[in-house]
Amino acid sequence: MWKVSLNDPDFPHKDLVTRWKNENPTYKYNLLTDAEILDHLRTHFKDTVPEVVEAFEMMPNKIIQSDFARYLLIFLNGGIYSDIDTQLQKPVDTWFDSDRNVGFVVAVEEDMNIENWEHYMTRRVQFEQWTFKAKPRHPVLRKLIAKIVETTYNAKKNDKLRAYYKDFKGVDRCASIDIMEWTGPVVWTDTIYAHLNSLQNPTIIDIDPSRDTGGVLYGPETDENQVINWRFLTGLKAPVMIDDVVIYPKLSFREDPENNCGKYCYVWHHFGGSWKNDGKGEIKPGMEGYEGEPPANGEGEPFNPNEIQVANGGEQPAQKKKRSLDGGFEKRDCLYPYHAY
């Protein structure tokens, strides 16, 4: 069990950290500081894949390094990673995946089935990275690490070794790399989807094939060659296992314990997000004080790529502006690479 701590000895959420330790007595618990992480990475990578350590040291801030560190630690050692602001609801050994031949475990972060979903999320069904499990050297993490190293070296080559986030002041998004794309949910989500779609004739165990969608779907067009995409996962109510990968529904790793999220509720994420908004935490669209980007199409409505409405078993492409699978948004520059996930 791995967590990345803050260097401050009085870091928040100590009670949550203690709960993880006490509720899982058979697990070896590791809470590492920045210095300990760097020592660990140097020990395991410096003489074998020095580019990994070099990329880590090149990263311009702690946010990106923290993301990268969690992937590297689990790749090397296996086990479970969880942010320090997560509250354990059930011991890890009682989770659905605990007695199965599972290699990688993740949950849906967001499944935003609304008309203007693209204005709020980077992917239609996006995966979280605050809690996950994996066996050592799992190919999802191997591919992810390779991509992050490549992105870091390219950023240095192109003089873009700066991190962008919508709350960061004075950062040119076209002269930097977005955190979401560099080490965050974009590259994380895309790597997981790419891995799942690379599997040849995977075994799929869908615990509950029914989906909670309300009868209407909003989302981008999908590639017929991508069997595992947002359409397959939207409205997920129970775990689905694709070969050795288990995907939990949205409520499993994020729901408030006051709400009844059923037997698959394992982790409550407090969403501290202290690195966002100058230490005040994340302010999302619709919340007081939100200062994100305005709608992109100049017509008072957020731009929605390839919106499709699905009702009564039929598909009716909405009359909206289109975006090709390999194209970019009109009137918007320097955004995330587009994938129909």
For residue 203, name the pLDDT band (cuts at 50, 70, 90).
very high
Euclidean distance between CA atoms 269 and 254, whole angstroms? 5
C-alpha pair distances (Å), 252 with each of 240, 248, 268, 273? 12, 6, 8, 19
User: Comparing C-alpha atoms, which of 231, 232, 237, 259 is closest to residue 250?
Assistant: 237
User: Facing residues of 310 across strands?
Assistant: 217, 315
pLDDT at 305 over 70: no
Each residue's pLDDT tens digit, 172-182: 888 999 999 99
Check residue 324 and give its pLDDT: 35
Helix (H, G, I), strand (E, B) or coil at 280: coil
C-beta of residue 128 within 8 angstroms of C-beta of residue 271:
no
Euclidean distance between CA atoms 19 and 27, whole angstroms? 13
Tokens 């908004």, located at residue: 277
Composition of the chain by helix, strand, coil, percent to 5: 35, 15, 50
Q: Which residues contact 330 (CB under 8 A, 6 or more apart)?
A: 297, 303, 321, 323
C-beta of residue 45 within 8 angstroms of C-beta of residue 71:
no
Each residue's pLDDT tens digit, 128-168: 999 999 999 999 999 999 999 999 999 999 999 999 988 88
Mean pLDDT score of the chain, rounded to an integer? 82
- Residue 339: what residue type? H
Higher confidence at residue 56 or residue 4?
A: 56
Euclidean distance between CA atoms 322 and 327, whole angstroms? 10
The backbone region for 197, taken as left when phi is positive above 0, alpha when psi lies in -120 to 50, beta otherwise, is alpha
CB atoms within 10 A of CB 233: 22
Q: Which two tokens stand for residue 236?
A: 């997920």
Q: Which two tokens stand for residue 1?
A: 């069990």
* Global model pTM greater than 0.75: yes
Helix (H, G, I), strand (E, B) or coil at 98: helix
C-beta of residue 184 within 8 angstroms of C-beta of residue 150:
no
